[in-house]
């Protein structure tokens, strides 16, 4: 069933690009915490596999350092602080790479989901959220909180089953270890833990994919619009002077590009000489009169002349004719009858210059 707006209208329309962008600017995006958790768990598994041996060696050196210094401790407070500080520094050096990787992975997981999006809107305090009764209802008595509870229970159940199966699978290998060396026991336990972690990782990935798809769907549902909201947004967009100006600018640029592409087909370009340029095309026996394929003033006139020079189109200076053609004919129009004689004289002169033109 479609959600309803505050006015009671059903939200049946898909969110527009503007509505999605407005929500994004406010920090409202489709983001799954399970995706971040899956990324972090993947890094944890890889760190456990590749980094644990190194960690074990460093921890053993730290323990030996402590034991050796405790035996030499002279009983003073300064000596105890020095030993403790040195140990903390060594432990920090050991853990900082992992913590740094976790921070980077957490950032990457968010970028993968929503891209780069910086918004200060969520940081602005809203006094309406300070109402404890409303906060309690939103936290514990809303449909969203029920969804979170069900999701958490399902995830807990899945991982409980995964752990149970892993333990049952590994149980037979433990009794024979009673008479084994410590190194063999440690290696066997390490392999068993790795198998459990890999099984859990696949579950994390599947849950993350499902939850991300659900969050995208839910985000779309939250942004659904009524027919009236779509109409109002369309009116606002159409009525925005900046939008109209931008549309006109794009239309003018497209029309100018199409016009300039027609200049190489012209027979002659008639100029003012500096302010106007009109490109005429004529093919004897095929056209009833010369056709205006391009015209412009100022910068556009210069572009028309520049294009004509590139393609060796004759450029004729005739100020009265250029002004008359510019006023009397638009692009795609034939030359008016009252200008036939003047244009014919120009064409005759062009044909004398290049006899093959117009055939």
CA 340-345-350 angle, to 5 degrees, is: 120
Question: Is residue 234 a part of any domain in this protein?
Answer: no
Tokens representing 268 are: 């002659």
State whether 200 and 72 are in the same domain: yes
Domain boundary among 201, 224, 247: 224
- Domain hosting 311: range is 258-353
215 and 269 fall within a common domain: no
Question: Residue 56: inside a domain, yes or no?
Answer: yes
- 90 lies in the same domain as 213: yes
Residue 56: the pLDDT is: 65
Phi-psi category of 332—alpha, beta or left, where left has phi over 0 and alpha has psi -120 to 50? left
Chosen domain end from 224, 247, 275 = 224
Both 289 and 159 in a single domain? no
Instruction: In whole angstroms, give the CA distance from residue 265 to residue 283.
Output: 10
Same domain, 185 and 49: yes
Q: Is residue 6 part of a domain?
A: no
Please indicate, yes or no, whether residues 264 and 199 belong to a single structural domain of this protein: no
Residue 279: the pLDDT is 92
Please state whether the predicted TM-score (pTM) of the whole model is above 0.85. Answer: no
- 268 and 211 share a domain? no
> Same structural domain for residues 218 and 339?
no
Q: Is residue 2 part of a domain?
A: no
Question: 97: which 2 tokens?
Answer: 């790479």
User: What span, in angstroms and rounded, lies between the C-alpha atoms of 282 and 359?
Assistant: 9
Are 160 and 267 members of one domain?
no
Do 210 and 286 belong together in one domain?
Answer: no
Q: Which two tokens stand for residue 66?
A: 């402590």
| Residue 178 placed within a domain | yes
Q: Provide the pLDDT for residue 75.
A: 63
CA 228, CA 50: separation in Å to the nearest integer? 58
Domain edge (last residue) among 174, 207, 224: 224
- 359 residues of the chain, pLDDT tens digit each: 455 555 556 777 788 777 877 777 777 777 777 887 888 888 877 777 776 666 666 666 666 666 666 655 566 677 667 767 776 777 777 777 777 777 787 777 777 776 666 555 555 555 555 555 555 555 555 666 777 788 788 888 887 888 788 778 877 877 777 777 767 777 777 777 778 878 888 888 888 888 888 888 888 888 888 888 777 777 766 656 666 677 677 767 787 788 888 888 888 999 987 789 999 998 887 888 899 999 988 888 888 899 899 988 898 898 999 999 999 888 889 999 899 889 988 888 888 876 655 54
Q: How many CB atoms lie under 10 A from the CB of residue 98?
A: 14
Is 253 contained in some domain?
no
Same domain, 215 and 271: no
7 falls within a domain = no
Q: Is residue 3 part of a domain?
A: no
Computed on alpha carbons and rounded to an integer, the radius of gyration of the chain in Å comes to 39
Domain co-membership, 36 together with 150: yes
Give the position of tokens 């514990």.
Answer: 140
Question: How many domains is the chain built from?
Answer: 2
CATH label of the domain that carries residue 304: 3.40.1690.10
């Amino acid at each position: 069933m479609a959600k309803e707006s505050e006015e009671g209208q059903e939200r049946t329309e898909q969110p527009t690009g503007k509505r999605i962008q407005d929500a994004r600017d406010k920090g409202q995006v489709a983001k799954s915490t399970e995706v971040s958790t899956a990324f972090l768990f993947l890094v944890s598994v890889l760190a456990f596999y590749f980094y644990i041996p190194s960690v074990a060696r460093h921890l053993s050196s730290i323990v030996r350092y402590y034991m050796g210094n405790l035996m030499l401790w002279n009983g003073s407070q300064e000596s105890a602080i020095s030993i403790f500080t040195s140990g903390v520094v060594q432990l920090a050096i050991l853990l900082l790479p992992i913590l740094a990787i976790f921070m980077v992975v957490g950032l990457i997981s968010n970028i993968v989901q929503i891209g780069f999006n910086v918004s200060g809107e969520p940081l602005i305090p809203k006094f309406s959220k300070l109402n404890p009764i409303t906060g309690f209802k939103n936290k514990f008595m809303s449909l969203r909180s029920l969804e979170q509870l069900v999701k958490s229970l399902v995830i807990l159940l899945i991982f409980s089953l995964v752990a149970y199966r892993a333990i049952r699978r590994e149980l037979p290998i433990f009794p024979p270890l009673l008479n084994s060396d410590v190194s063999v026991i440690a290696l066997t336990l390490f392999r068993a833990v790795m198998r459990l972690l890999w099984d859990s990782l696949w579950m994390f990935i599947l849950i993350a994919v499902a939850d991300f798809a659900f969050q995208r769907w839910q985000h779309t549902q939250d942004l659904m619009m009524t027919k009236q909201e779509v109409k109002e947004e369309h009116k606002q967009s159409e009525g925005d002077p900046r939008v109209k100006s931008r549309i006109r600018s794009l239309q003018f640029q497209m029309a100018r590009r199409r016009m300039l592409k027609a200049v190489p087909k012209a027979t002659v370009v008639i100029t003012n000489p500096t302010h106007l340029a009109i490109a005429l095309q004529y093919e004897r026996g095929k056209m009833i009169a010369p056709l205006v394929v391009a015209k412009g003033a100022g910068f556009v006139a210069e572009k028309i002349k520049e294009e004509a020079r590139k393609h060796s189109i004759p450029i004729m200076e005739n100020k009265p004719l250029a002004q008359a053609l510019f006023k009397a004919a638009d692009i795609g129009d034939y030359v008016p009858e009252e200008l036939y004689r003047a244009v014919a004289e120009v064409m005759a002169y062009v044909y004398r210059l290049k006899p093959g033109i117009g055939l």
